[in-house]
Amino acid sequence: MRLISQTEVDEYLKDDWILRLLEEVGRPGDEQLAVQQWLAQTPAKRMAFSALYGDILGLTSRRRVLDVGGGITALTRVLAQSNDYYVLDILSHGGQEVADELEAELGRPVLIKADWLSHARATDGQYDVIIANDIFPNADQRLELFLKTYLPRTHELRMSLTFYNEPRFYLCRRVDGDEFLCMLAWDGRQTGYVLRDRVQAIVEPDFSILNESGSSVFANGRHVCLVTMIGDSGA
């Protein structure tokens, strides 16, 4: 476990290779992809991307990888060319055309357009690496259910987890009903509560970082930690 701090971001920026790679492999129109825009505009996101995906961006890695909620960027092509790689995402931020073009080029599926729980109930696929980048528990609060569902299906699970230690909430509208909900973002205590139940699976656990209350490297004040867990099939 490690917290994304300004020190770590500054160290990464000495060699901002993710931004370089985005520019090298990008095609006309990629700059319109929302997930790519966030990656290009946010150094801390590129530092996290480097940590989570760096070793599978190489041309010889060839592992079976499931990217949960990873979205579509120019780097999706590199990941899919280097691995037996799948993006499991409902694509709320777009990218369908790029995914379709990539699948046509490779001659195989890359995008699994579904909710991760629905997908898990429909298949029992196993993976070398599962990645969940910037989805739990900010966009999806089902972190405990996700760990229960996917740790048995992988050798290694990599996540970036977002938490706020100052109250932050969102007024949301249900897509399946005429109802407004107020969603309170998780703090470090809640995040740690779920992780502690599986502490034996965490590589170098350090729950002290979840108490962080200092300045954030993100404009919205959130804190993000990177967590690697050994899955049941890798134990």
The pLDDT, as a whole number, for residue 232 is 86
| DSSP of the chain | -EE--HHHHHHHHTT-HHHHHHHHH--TTGGG-HHHHHHHH-HHHHHHHHHHHGGGSSTT---EEEEET----HHHHHHHHHSEEEEE---TT--HHHHHHHHHHHTS--EE-S-HHHHHHH----EEEEEEEEEETTT---HHHHHHHHGGGEEEEEEEEEE-SS--EEEEE-SSSS-EEEEEPP-HHHHHHHHHTTGGGBSS--GGGGG--S--SSTT--EEEEEEEE-GGG-
**Which portions of the chain are predicted below pLDDT 70?**
59-61, 234-235
- The Cα 203–Cα 206 span in angstroms is 9
The pLDDT, as a whole number, for residue 213 is 86
Could you tell me the maximum CA-CA distance found in the chain, to the nearest angstrom? 50
The pLDDT, as a whole number, for residue 175 is 86
pLDDT in tens, 85-118: 999 999 999 999 999 999 999 999 999 999 999 9
Query: Does the 2-234 domain belong in CATH 3.40.50.150?
Result: yes
Domain spans of the chain, in order of start: 2-234
What share of the chain in percent tops pLDDT 90? 92
